[in-house]
Amino acid sequence: MELHVVIEGKKDLGGQLHGQLKDAIRSGRLVAGERLPPTRLLAEQLGISRKTVAEVFARLTRDGLLIGRAGIGTFVGEGMVTRTPPQRTEDLAGAAVVEQWRRMATPLRQMDREGSARYEYIGGVPSGPLFPADDWRRCMLHGLRQFTSSRSLYGSAEGVPALRQAIARHIAFARGVRCDADDVIVTAGAQQALDLVARVLVAPGSTVAIEEPGYPPMRNLLAAQGAHVVGVPVDDEGIVVDAIPAGTRFIYVTPAHQFPLGMPMSPARRAALLRRAQELGAVVIEDDFDSEFRHAGRPTDTLYSLDTQGTVAYVGTFSKTMSPQLRLGYLIAPPSIRSAVATAKHLTDSHTAPAQQWALAKFIDDGLLARHIRRCHAAYALRREKLVARFEGDLAPWFRLVPAAAGFHIAALCRKPLDVALLVALARRVDVGLYPLAPFFHFSEPQPGLMMGYGAIDTLDIDPSLDRVRDILMQIA
């Protein structure tokens, strides 16, 4: 790799080289310990004599900016770094937009930073120890072989055909979603799928409806694009359809496992939502983020399966079934917006990493995903059973659980006045990570309570950790 130095003309070649290397070291572009090219190689690259380069190196060494190590090479020393002050934000022509992004609340991002207690009840995080590392490694080797045989060409924005076919088969079997491979667009997690739909549907001032409480990144994403975001309340049956305002362009819902409260949307409410969307000409985004893990009740049809008018965009992810670090998800877009979404995908990131797509296709086709989901489901069911027993037992004086049939988090609402922020802070002191429901409310007064994720905590850790929580509650409530 060549060192970036620009030599102009034929005069004062040594002075030019000395000045540029000195500036690069003092500005921090060349960091302490960085090895410089040998004098012969650098001279060839710059088209100057080796003697000139050697003299510059010697001069910089005398100045303490370079250090020569016999038989090893020449390295950047501990020279003084004097960085140029960056441009101030207030001087930018786009300062108002920058400030809008800077001030945006990101509660889930904060959760990720905080998720380091010994006993973690962070939501949305699957079990790390259950990740099938050996199976995934073998599939990644397959993906790399496919990648190396592709001549390093750019891929399709919609995704690797093998993965699109595998996803279509998987969701047909697991969720009853009827679609062809051509309907599937592979994305970098569900978040990109949501972003793509918003990009092609939202213009500044557009009215969009989301659940309240709901998923903060979706609300912030829409607000950042200039949308008029309306929070629609949810009740025991899901989103209150009658509260969706006229002029709404699209509606974002989590019908299988409402985020964050957890209740499923009733069949009657699903039918009413589809009727309302058709009246408005709105697209419904169905975020089916963790419904593979169903613990109670009979399976329910997805909105996509019930839709007969091409109204629903179905979003799924492998972040919850496998790992959020894989950044793989998918979108089944209705025909009315599919080509526009594919164009937006092409323009934003061209295509999702092909090697991981090939690996996931093999992982699904070999039955490994289904096996992994079964294994996780068994573990999550035990953890859920323990949580329910404790919240219906010695924690019942303080909390009641919201009935949830799927997923791997459950909401606990306060039965009586309780300083949830204090509880969370005190629990952190005894190495228990608890997370309040308040950040998921934006348009209404928050309901005091906790979102209890049970993907990241071991089954055997639930009782001792909740013993600590109970002890704190007995002191503060």
The 3-state DSSP class for residue 172 equals helix
- Flag whether pLDDT at 11 surpasses 90: no
Q: Phi first, then psi: what are they for 104, rounded to 5°?
A: -70, 130
Which residue spans of the chain are classified as CATH 1.10.10.10?
A: 13-76
Q: What is the pLDDT of residue 456?
A: 93
- Flag whether pLDDT at 416 surpasses 80: yes
393-402 pLDDT, tens digit per residue, is: 999 999 999 9
Which residue spans of the chain are classified as CATH 3.40.640.10?
A: 133-366
- Flag whether pLDDT at 276 surpasses 60: yes
Mean pLDDT along residues 368-387: 96
- The count of other CB atoms within 10 Å of the CB of residue 223 is 15
Q: What is the pLDDT of residue 147?
A: 83
Q: Angle at CA 381, nearest 5°, toward 439 and 359?
A: 80
Domain 13-76 classification at class level: mainly alpha
Mean pLDDT along residues 377-383: 96
Nearest CA among 22, 119, 100 for reference residue 62: 22
Crossing angle of the two packed helices 189-201 and 216-224, in degrees rounded to 10: 30
Token pair 């690797």 in the structure block, residue:
160
State both tokens at 153: 């060409």
Q: Which residues contact 41 (CB under 8 A, 6 or more apart)?
A: none
- Residue pair 120/409 in contact (Cβ under 8 Å)? The answer is no
Which residue spans of the chain are classified as CATH 3.90.1150.10?
A: 107-127+371-476
Residue burial 376-396, b: 16+ Cβ < 10 Å; e: rest: bbebbbebbebbeebbeeebe
Q: Which of 38-42, 164-168, 409-413 has the lowest mean pLDDT?
A: 38-42
Q: What is the pLDDT of residue 212?
A: 97
Dihedral angle, C-alpha 28, 29, 31, 37, nearest 10 °: -150
CA distance 473 to 475: 5
Give the strands of the sheet with 449-453, arranged side by side.
Answer: 399-401, 409-414, 449-453
Written as one letter, the residue type at 52 is T
Q: Phi first, then psi: what are they for 307, rounded to 5°?
A: -75, 130
Q: Phi first, then psi: what are they for 74, rounded to 5°?
A: -115, 135
299-311 pLDDT, tens digit per residue, is: 788 999 999 999 9
Q: In this structure, which topology does domain 133-366 adopt according to CATH? A: Aspartate Aminotransferase; domain 2 (3.40.640)
Looking at beta carbons, which pairs linking 67-76 to residues 24 or more positions away fall under 8 Å? 73/35, 73/36, 73/38, 74/35, 74/36, 74/38, 74/39, 75/33, 75/34, 75/35, 75/36, 76/25, 76/30, 76/31, 76/32, 76/33, 76/34, 76/36
Q: What is the pLDDT of residue 110?
A: 55
Architecture label for domain 107-127+371-476: Alpha-Beta Complex (3.90)
Helix or strand holding residue 51 (H, E): helix 50-62
